[in-house]
Amino acid sequence: MRSEGTGPLGRVMVISPHLDDAVFSCGELLSAHPHATVATIFAGTPPAGHTTTDWDRACGFRSACEAMVARRNEDASALLTLGARPVWLNFLDSQYCDGSAGATAPQADDIAESIALLVTREQPDAVLFPLGLFHSDHDLAHRACLAAWQARSSQVLPGQPSPRWLAYEDALYRRMDGLREQRLAGMNESGVRASVYPVTWQGDRAAKAAAVACYASQLKAFGPGGYDDTADPEGYWSLDRAGLLHAAA
């Protein structure tokens, strides 16, 4: 069911690898699409006894459990600022998948299934997912979302509402030379054509900046200047795949 007054894309669901990526990459879009859902894939907490990682120490945490509790709180505050709602999936961040304390790496198929179920449950008008430009978790999130898109598209009957699937540029990583072009070329080789999706909404830059500031522990680790890219214009890509049914324009 489509809702009025939710922004040009209608009801939006943003798929986020970590507890910050959706806001860093799509904060202005979220500010222009109230009542959005932000589903974070790697929001799970590793088993008790897991060793603290270098990144968590840089963020100021003494344990993985403490880190994940704080990150979820930061995410809740940031999304409240933007009028969005969090959904936290329990897959583990790769930094916790070193085999210690029984922590194992999630599989793309399992993530894809969870995303497809979530889309079926939430019925958004638009699903946004990362290009997955850098970091194994971002790449995994990207591949899982492509698989979910494909699975859902093959199940949709003609005339049945289906969300529009768009890719967003991963903030911070998109500044790294050649990664975006490499990803777009790779997608093209696998039959997915991407073209720039024009931003037709008026985002609230101040609201995005306030939301970004909520991720205090992450910002501490990125350091001064390490997240300047979040203030630059956001980038979106529409996708088309031969042989798949896709969202009505």
Q: Under the criterion CB under 5 A, does residue 132 sit at the interface with Zn ion? A: no
Compute the distance between CA of residue 43 and CA of residue 79 in angstroms, rounded to an integer: 15
Piece in contact with Zn ion (CB under 5 A), picked from 16-24, 102-110, 112-120, 215-223: 16-24
Quote helix, strand, coil % in the chain, to nearest 5.
Answer: 45, 15, 40
Nearest residue to Zn ion, using CB?
Answer: 18
Structure-token pair, residue 212: 């970004």
| Nearest residue (CB) to Zn ion, 20 versus 28 | 20
Of all helices (H) and strands (E), which one includes residue 118? helix 108-122
Minimum Å gap between C-beta 243 and Zn ion is 31
Spatial separation of the C-alpha atoms in residues 14 and 36, rounded to whole Å: 8
Q: Which residues contact 220 (CB under 8 A, 6 or more apart)?
A: 58, 59, 60
Longest dimension (CA), the chain: 53
CB 236 → Zn ion: shortest distance, Å? Answer: 18
Question: Does the footprint of Zn ion cover residue 18 (CB under 5 A)?
Answer: yes
Candidates 21, 28, 93, 139; binder of Zn ion (CB under 5 A) is 21
- Interface region with Zn ion, contact rule CB under 5 A, candidates 10-18, 28-36, 43-51, 222-230: 10-18
Listed in sequence order, the residues at least 6 apart from 4 whose beta carbon sits closer than 8 Å to its beta carbon are none
Count interface residues toward Zn ion (CB under 5 A).
3
Q: Which stretch binds Zn ion (CB under 5 A): 21-29, 123-131, 145-153, 219-227?
A: 21-29
Least Cβ distance, residue 239 to Zn ion (angstroms): 21
Chain residues that interact with Zn ion, rule: CB under 5 A: 17-18, 21
